[in-house]
Amino acid sequence: MSLIFEKSVPGKTAWTLPSSDVPAAPLDTAVEKQLRQGTPRMPELAEIDIVRHYTELSRRNHGVDSGFYPLGSCTMKYNPKINEDIAEIPGFQWAHPMSPDSFCQGSLRVLYELEQAFCAITGMDYFTLQPAAGAHGELTAMFIIKAYHRQRGDSHRLKVLVPTSAHGTNPASAAMAGFEPIPVQCNAQGLVDYDQLVSLLDDHVAALMLTNPNTLGLFEKEISAIANRVHQAGGLLYYDGANLNAIMGIVRPGDMGFDLMHLNAHKTFATPHGGGGPGAGPVGVKEYLQPFLPAPVLGESAAGLFWDWDRPQAIGKVVGFHGNFGVLLKALAYIKALGGPGLQQVSQDAILNANYLRARLQSSYSVPYSQFCMHEFVISATNLPNHIRALDIAKRLIDFGYHPPTVYFPLIVAEALMIEPTETEDQATLDQFVQTLQQILIEAEQHPELLTSAPHHTPVSRVDETRAARSPKLHW
């Protein structure tokens, strides 16, 4: 497919400017530093060429609107279109982030009500909506943890414990904040090895980062005991909220003993995402951590809502302006549309769909942890005929119109495929997916070359992933 610049034809235009009603100013009267040094490179196309170009591009991408997207740990659920309509209301869409507080009370009310909703859903006492993505929320939380310990004179607490079932961003976020990430192994049931965790707890531990349910889709049954031991050791318990879609209305991190957490507002609360954004990673804290939240925080007085910058213990500002307002607005619309019972139904349906798929696939594929799961589960492509690997299955699924599941993660399962169906898929879709995976298994036995050379129906077939990542050929 040609680039839009390669389609450019001199003289073609998609617009016509009206005649100017003021005298033209000669260029030499402009301020010199504002003058361009050369002609800007712009494609010259008719409107129809532009529309067809971007329509074709969109057809080459697979999204939730195109088909099933069971990308484990990413909660790629369908996003109701009414949320987009609400985000495009002119009063919100054109609100300027530098407007005085008195000019934007409606937008501030959106943020305030969303903070209150997040507190009710999670059991936290306060939220900041600033972080622009999930990993950004993790990093923000790590800085809050560091500020908390420093304020208590515990600056020597520089270890952060991270289970091997955690998301890969967890140890990276801890390291970026200046902590030393220490792995905690999982036991035979896929849960945190409690005895090893206890053995690692000492007065140098700042926190334990925990995802519950974890990336195997399993709920940590000993979470109360884990929280108690971490607190007894003087550490904080941090909740990675990437898997919150499994527990809404059922259990709250704040009630499980977590001290702070982040949410993936785009994933759980239905904003289209992927490919780097847009996202939002709000961070919630218990009351004793509230002084360290990034400045400013929302306050309320008789005159209305206002940004409170008088925050002497705050970790600072973590994003330009006040976060990704459009994503946050869509999250509030989604929450208000469903209400508490609706959010609980979301989680229950997500769990039901995941367990339905797990139960139907476990007679065909290896399921290393076959107990009742939450919103996702992991199968393994080990011991498949003709040395077929997880990557081969993933590539072949593309030929059948599916986005592949997450592969080779979590690292504690060999040849892993992590599947998250989400609550928005019906039984017919799930059944068709099962039939496809069973068909692929037959092909693995009878025609393995169909898998090892897949995909066959895409603009680009099998690529060398390592070279593609490390030596990308980009042109524009």
Q: Where does the pLDDT of residue 272 fall: very low under 50, low under 70, confident under 90, or very high at 90 and above? A: confident
Q: What is the mean pLDDT of residues 331-339?
A: 97
**Same domain flag for 178 and 250:** yes
Full domain range(s) for residue 52 = 4-31+40-59
Instruction: Please report the pLDDT score of residue 274 as a whole number.
Output: 75
Say if residue 150's pLDDT is above 90.
Answer: yes
Say if residue 459's pLDDT is above 90.
Answer: no
Q: Where does the pLDDT of residue 276 fall: very low under 50, low under 70, confident under 90, or very high at 90 and above? A: low
**Same domain flag for 396 and 321:** no
| Mean pLDDT lowest among 139-148, 316-325, 335-344 | 316-325
Residue 275 forms part of a structural domain = yes
Per-residue model confidence as pLDDT tens digits over 204-220: 999 999 999 999 999 99
| Mean pLDDT lowest among 23-27, 100-104, 291-295 | 23-27
**Same domain flag for 17 and 122:** no
Q: What is the mean pLDDT of residues 350-379?
A: 97
Q: What is the mean pLDDT of residues 137-161?
A: 98
Instruction: Please report the pLDDT score of residue 143 as a whole number.
Output: 98
Instruction: Please report the pLDDT score of residue 79 as a whole number.
Output: 93
Torsion of the alpha carbons at 340, 345, 346 and 349, rounded to the nearest 10 = 170
**Same domain flag for 166 and 315:** yes
**Same domain flag for 237 and 156:** yes
Q: Up-side HSE of residue 473: CA atoms within 13 Å toward CB?
A: 4
Instruction: Please report the pLDDT score of residue 23 as a whole number.
Output: 87
Instruction: Please report the pLDDT score of residue 465 as a whole number.
Output: 85
On average, the pLDDT of the chain sits at: 95
SS3 211: coil
Q: What is the mean pLDDT of residues 140-152?
A: 98
Rounded Cα distance, 70 and 226, in Å: 31
Say if residue 401's pLDDT is above 70.
Answer: yes
User: What is the Cα 372 distance to its own chain's centre?
Assistant: 24
Residue 476 forms part of a structural domain = no
**Same domain flag for 27 and 148:** no
Instruction: Please report the pLDDT score of residue 93 as a whole number.
Output: 94
Q: Where does the pLDDT of residue 474 fall: very low under 50, low under 70, confident under 90, or very high at 90 and above? A: confident
Q: DSSP letter string over 277-309? A: ------EEE-GGGGGGSPSPEEEEETTEEEEE-
Residues 6 or more apart in contact with residue 440 via CB below 8 angstroms = 393, 396, 397, 400, 451
Say if residue 277's pLDDT is above 80.
Answer: no
Q: Where does the pLDDT of residue 476 fall: very low under 50, low under 70, confident under 90, or very high at 90 and above? A: low
Rounded Cα distance, 199 and 197, in Å: 5
Instruction: Please report the pLDDT score of residue 25 as a whole number.
Output: 80
**Both tokens assigned to 204:** 């140098």
Instruction: Please report the pLDDT score of residue 468 as a whole number.
Output: 87
Contact predicate 90/104, CB 8 Å: no
As a whole-number percent, the residues of the chain with pLDDT over 90 amount to 86
Residue 300 forms part of a structural domain = yes
Q: What is the mean pLDDT of residues 272-290?
A: 90
Say if residue 26's pLDDT is above 90.
Answer: no
Per-residue model confidence as pLDDT tens digits over 167-195: 989 999 999 999 999 999 999 999 999 99
Q: What is the largest CA-CA distance in the chain?
A: 81
* Domain CATH number, residue 398: 3.90.1150.10
**Same domain flag for 213 and 243:** yes
Residue 47 forms part of a structural domain = yes
- Domain final position from 338, 363, 385: 338
CB-CB neighbours of 386 under 10 Å = 14
Q: Where does the pLDDT of residue 273 fall: very low under 50, low under 70, confident under 90, or very high at 90 and above? A: confident
